[in-house]
Amino acid sequence: MAYTRGSKDDWNKWAEIVEDDALKWDNMMPFMLKVCPSATQVIYCCSFTCSLQTEKLVKNATGQSHIDPSLYGHDGKISLTSEYIDHPLNDMYLEVTKEFPTEYPYLRDMNDGKPVGICE
């Protein structure tokens, strides 16, 4: 199962349809952050082994963690895992983001409100 907050545009459109600005992305984000753990509490899974990262975020092939800490809360009650498997196809997918950045943008984290693109 994948956890995603969906598209910022979708939240804003829903707010417009029901005429309730409280449902806009920026207004809902504090509630989304409340249910999430901090990025350092996200369980990192790689090659079928999982470990709780409490000191640092594990780096992916791009040299950064593949979750953006600013998009996560502090002590939310849901559990999240961040899956990453080092595979030769990863490099091919990342090349697509360089060759076609408009059609297939690179996403560090799919929960930033713009979920269309390729992330590790």
Query: Considering all CA atoms of the chain, what is the largest pairwise distance in Å, rounded to the nearest integer?
Result: 47
- Give residue for tokens 């409490």: 54
pLDDT at position 64 = 58
Return the structure tokens found at 84. 């990453």
Q: Per-residue pLDDT tens, the chain, 120 aa: give them.
A: 566 788 999 999 999 999 999 999 999 988 888 887 766 666 554 444 444 444 344 455 555 566 777 777 777 777 666 666 667 787 888 888 899 999 989 887 778 888 888 877
pLDDT recorded at residue 46: 46
| pLDDT score, position 19 | 98
**The pLDDT of residue 115:** 83
Whole-structure pTM value: 0.65
Task: Give pLDDT, residue 63.
Answer: 55
**No. of H helices and E strands in the chain?**
3, 5
Whether 76 contacts 35, CB under 8 Å: yes
Q: How far apart are the C-alpha atoms of 12 and 91, rounded to whole Å?
A: 34
